[in-house]
Amino acid sequence: MTYDEIIERKLKYEFEGAGWNAVKDCAVREYSQPTKAKGYLLHWYPEGSYRVPVYYSYSARSARMLRQLCEKAKISFPGADLEEVLRQYSAAPAFFEFEGMLPAKAYPLKVAQFKTHFQVADSTGLSYNQWMDDIRRNYDPNLMRVLVAPGAAKAMGLKEGDKVVVESSYGGKTSGLLHISEMIHPMVVGISGKWGAQGMHLPDFAQQGPSYNALLNDDERDIGFMMGNLNNSVAVMVYKE
């Protein structure tokens, strides 16, 4: 099957049988959505006709299956017992706390990653794009800075443009220029998650700026057993370099 044939099938599936011919002159094609949803859907449907699940029965089924498989094969998890692992498969909403997650006296702030509108669908790749860097330099010059609220900056004795160090409760550090912004919560430090990249063959601009990942922890206790995700919002302190 050729690439064109694959795309033809995809178009017909998405647009009620309309293939290449329907979009050869104009890439915009209207199509209808059903007015009533069947079952639980994650997509948008009109007239309030969709339902959002509160109890995820399939998670409960997965937990039972995982228990049976682990007990039968005598599988253990590093740093956690089976009950702790299965709790992450809760069919109802459950809250988890990680060590280093909540602010403390020594680390009074939380760090948060953010992305701008031209980066939202990207896993660092656009940060290596020269055109995207041109946008950053010309229209969003504070993107590579450490953002804090005015009150927080005043309390720490910091001013606009200071070279600061952000240190997490895990011991990780990164540095950058400070930008004071009313768009940041007083207890939060904002760092764009795109910069400070490390690796060979990267352009210079991708390696500049504070590195959000340097503040995180790769300890097995901070990795979600269900999704494999990291605890990615840790407590930090900020001080002048």
Q: How far is CA 171 from the centre of its chain?
A: 21
Strands 235-240 and 109-114: antiparallel
Beta bridge partners of 175: 165
Tens of pLDDT, residues 112-163: 988 766 555 555 566 677 877 887 788 888 888 999 999 999 999 999 999 9
Residue 14 pLDDT exceeds 80: no
Whether the model clears a pTM of 0.95, i.e. scores above it, the answer is no
CA pair distance 195, 143, nearest whole angstrom: 9
Tens of pLDDT along 200-231? 777 888 888 899 888 988 777 677 777 777 77
Tens of pLDDT along 43-64? 555 555 566 677 888 888 999 9
Give residue 43's pLDDT: 54
Coil vs helix vs strand at 218: coil
Do the bridges between strand 173-180 and strand 188-192 make them parallel or antiparallel, or are there none, so unpaired? unpaired
Give the architecture (CATH level 2) of 109-240: Beta Barrel (2.40)
Yes or no: say if 49 and 35 are a contact pair by the CB < 8 Å rule: yes
Kindly provide the residue ranges of all beta strands, DSSP E only, lying in the chain, ordered along the sequence: 109-114, 146-148, 163-168, 173-180, 188-192, 235-240
Question: Phi-psi bin for 17: left (phi > 0), alpha (psi -120 to 50), beta?
Answer: left
Q: Do the beta carbons of residue 144 and residue 179 sit within 8 Å?
A: no
Residues of the chain with pLDDT > 90, as a percent, come to: 29
State the Cα–Cα distance between residues 60 and 99, nearest whole angstrom.
Answer: 26
Instruction: Tell me which of 34-38, 117-121, 195-199 is least confident.
Output: 34-38
Res. 36: pLDDT tops 60: no
Q: What is the pLDDT of residue 3?
A: 80
Asked if residue 199 has pLDDT above 80, the reply is no
pLDDT on residue 198:
76
Which spans in the chain are helix H?
3-14, 20-23, 57-73, 82-87, 130-139, 150-155
d(CA 48, CA 70): 42
For residue 21, give both structure tokens: 């011919």
For tokens 């299956």, name the residue: 65
**According to the model, what pLDDT value does residue 19 have?**
80
